[in-house]
Amino acid sequence: MMFTAQPRSTENIQHVLTVGRSLEITTGGGKSRRRKIGQVPSHQRSCCWKVKAVIQSENNNKSTKLVEKSGNGSLVTSDKGIDVKAVITLRKKMKENITDKIEDQWESLMNGIGRGILIQLISQDIDPVTKSGKFAESYVRGWLSKPSDHPYIVEYAANFTVPHDFGRPGAIIISNLLDKEIHLVQIVVHGFNEGPLFFSVNTWIHSQKDNPQSRIIFQNQAYLPSQTPAGIKDLRREDLLSIRGNGKGERKLHERIYDYDVYNDLGNPDKSEDLARPLVGGKERPYPRRCQTGRSPTKTDPLAESRIEKPHPVYVPRDETFEEIKQNTFSAGRLKALLHNLVPLIAATLSSSDIPFTNFSDIDKLYNDGFVLNDDEHSKKNKFLSDTLVKVFSVSKRLLKYEIPAIIKRDRFSWLRDSEFARQTLAGVNPVNIELLREFPIVSKLDPAVYGPPDSAITRDFIEQELNGLSIEEAIEDKRLFILDYHDMLLPFIGKMNSLPGRKAYASRTLFFYTSRGVLKPIIIELSLPPTPSSPRNKRIFSHGHDATNHWMWNLAKAHVCSNDAGVHQLVNHWLRTHACMEPYIIATHRQLSSMHPIYKLLHPHMRYTLEINALARQSLINGGGVIEACFSPGKYSMEISSAAYKSMWRFDMEALPADLIRRGMAVEDPSMPLGLKLVIEDYPYAADGLLIWSAIKEYVESYVEHYYSDPNSVKSDVELQDWWNEIKNKGHADKKNEPWWPKLVTKEDLSGILTTMIWIASGQHAAINFGQYPFGGYVPNRPTLMRKLIPHEEDPSYENFIIHPEKTFLASLATQLQATKVMAVQDTLSTHSADEEYVHQLHEIQRFSINDHEVLKIFERFCAKLEEIEDTINQRNKDIRLKNRSGAGIPPYELLLPTSGPGVTCRGIPNSISI
């Protein structure tokens, strides 16, 4: 065995003796240490003086031999070994400033002379002398010129001569001696009998000036812990320990430390008392944990973490950050959001107030004209501001316009129809809250001493007027009554919400009847306020009616329901159940599963960018004073509502699509049907398409798990896997760690179920409730995110204005122009696919770089082929005229669960991960 290494220490090695199987090292500082030869720390093997050694195995009956120390670092062997070349692929920046270009030239020079990057090959085989993996090392040298379609990719080479009995390299230790970090795409080792050996990582390697610890890279081969080759077993453990952290100190941007923390960084009490927010996560306000950043506490509140405001980045482990293409896409979206927000903000400022929409033409102008500042008494100032925006940001005024949302592109009046209101509960952006009504009367579970009588104001007479001769009992038995119930979730917060300026909301219940024609229609809306001494049953009932007054009242009631639905969708179904709940799974996967663990490799594509997008959300979306608070009804109580929903309703076992559908009564168990269940409403696009995707994920996960866990006890005996699942429960979801519903992890069936749920949440579930945000919410009357006025009573002073100008009353109840355009800009950004998006149908292409197993790659190929079949099936369904929730005059097809998409706002496509 041979070694040399990089100069990482100021200590010069003065003397080296071989003592049995150890090296006794005396340094210039007079210190003497004895180490096993393979365990000599890298910083002692890599001093300014190069030590060279050749250790010949005891198996060939030759004595151990020490070669003199040398200053040139060249390898010396007793006989000719195997010539090996490692080709290192790096990615440069796409956009470089003058400093970057100078650094690139310096990097090329240092690598050219062999002083930039040091790599060590670690064999899978144990050296009989050192009892650790054999190793060889070399600097990368020179420049490999290679014609390429990728101008940002560069390659270097490192040459080795290794003994014939070196064995197969299982790991590489890489040390970056440059002054800046490098982005390592892959290393390919040539020269061994097995053919090229791939180490594909796509990772950032920190500079040793930031951290002297070298990086460990494993070959593209999956191993359970018990199957790890002996030569790299210690490295597997060492690599995991390096990224766990100790929970102390502020994280630095170059680090890759994964640890847990509560949501204590949402408020900014040092800036303003109004921006103080309670800690979320813990006994009082339970919540999933986030990735720890370790910043110091605020001066005002020792429990609150100080904030990092834009444009400064929030820490996430280095490899979790956006790649440059994604950054550019996101920045373009942020620029668009800035322009959308800034112009109406200036207009509002100049007019001294944030104005409401006064007629529907004001809304149409968002798409037809965009925001062009008017030539009025402020014409000169307006023209200067408008011209400055266009000049500074190098965009045309067209960028200030919004695209026409899909919901009104085919039929601008669709939002007015009751059938469309109902259709969106099954095929809209939030199709996961509608439930089967299974009991009557409808009763609240809230404390009646605080929230008044528990019975709903929806009586038998109200319902049976709409049932075409059926009794309630018959309609319930036939599974034809459905409910959208936000009463218990929101009523505890309505009083606080309505105390906020410009916010008025109710807790709502909406009943739907499934007609004999196969169409869902809304029949009754109940809107409730907290009880008062004068009104202990503060509830109002609305039905669609047939006269003009009831028609407009009904439209106002529907708008309030949509506002509640938008808030629950964003705070509970979108943020909590996908983004926030996925974060602990990702942290635990990195902390407990080695990068060579087969389950790590399975999950890795489904973790891409999620921690980064969540950090950005904490910075500007869900934070105190952020977009969600500014533009949605719950305002500053948004995260408290999200926490309350987590406490009362979130269960891991119910996040599986089939279990969720059965829980809501939208499906029943039926052994004769695929997946053992049958939909109560066959024309339920989200569920029908979602079950196709779920089934494909389930089949592929089961095949993958079976490949690696064929032994009946292999799941239970996998120490990394058990630690992973225990950490998810006990640390990632610490506030629910004692719940009895957590799945056990004993059998491969248990493991397959857990993984299928996680991958579904990261891919299909998130796609279904995210990428329709602008197509459905971009038209304010269709899906208002907040309401500013309660519905007038006859005795109210505003009632007369309502009778005279019902349209103005309706529009004045919606968000203001500034609020609406701000949320539209964010929805537009969140609905946009990046140009570098990775979709589920591409998994076989993505995974072939990380797994060197033909049988496993065939599993991915079968999965992707299945997704192609599913896409054809969904396209055929969208053409079926019998399915009225996905086809018909002016009806947009349901494409949110189509696997493929191009970039942009497409209202389709399933990315592998929660990446936006």
Q: Of the candidates 486, 439, 487, 445, which has an alpha carbon nearest to the alpha carbon of residue 463?
A: 439
- Token pair recorded at residue 607: 């973790």
Our answer to whether residue 766 is catalytic in this structure is yes
Q: Of the candidates 147, 140, 99, which has an alpha carbon nearest to the alpha carbon of residue 119?
A: 140
Query: Which residue's structure tokens are 């406490």?
Result: 647
Q: Of the candidates 767, 761, 526, 484, which has an alpha carbon nearest to the alpha carbon of residue 650?
A: 761
Our answer to whether residue 770 is catalytic in this structure is yes
Our answer to whether residue 579 is catalytic in this structure is yes
CA distance 232 to 471: 71
Q: Could you give the C-alpha distances from 19 to 22, 24, 129, 201, in angstroms and in order?
A: 5, 7, 12, 39
Our answer to whether residue 574 is catalytic in this structure is yes
What DSSP string describes 385-432? HHHHHHHHHT--GGGGSPPPPHHHHS-TTGGG-HHHHHHHHHHSS-TT
CA 75 from centroid of its chain's CA atoms: 47
Sequence-distant (≥ 6) Cβ neighbours of residue 312 within 8 angstroms: none
- Token pair recorded at residue 522: 């809304």
Q: How many CA atoms lie within 13 A of 573 on its CB side?
A: 21
Q: How many CA atoms lie within 13 A of 382 on its CB side?
A: 17
Q: Of the candidates 608, 607, 642, which has an alpha carbon nearest to the alpha carbon of residue 622?
A: 642
CA distance 783 to 367: 17
Residue 34 identity: R
Burial 817-845 (b: 16+ CB within 10 A, else e): bbbbbbbbbbbbbbbbbbebbbbbbbbbe
Catalytic residue chosen out of the listed positions 43, 574, 590, 841? 574
Q: Could you give the C-alpha distances from 811 to 627, 788, 820, in angstroms and in order?
A: 21, 10, 12
Q: Of the candidates 113, 105, 21, which has an alpha carbon nearest to the alpha carbon of residue 72?
A: 113
Helix intervals (H) in 243-304:
none
Our answer to whether residue 916 is catalytic in this structure is yes
Catalytic residue chosen out of the listed positions 560, 579, 606, 733? 579
- Provide the 3-class DSSP secondary structure of residue 435: strand
Catalytic residue chosen out of the listed positions 770, 782, 885, 912? 770
CA distance 741 to 774: 36
Burial 251-263 (b: 16+ CB within 10 A, else e): beebbbbbbbbbb
Catalytic residue chosen out of the listed positions 597, 606, 766, 841? 766
- Token pair recorded at residue 37: 């030869």
Burial 862-888 (b: 16+ CB within 10 A, else e): ebbebbeebbeebeebbeeeebbbbbe
Catalytic residues: 574, 579, 766, 770, 916
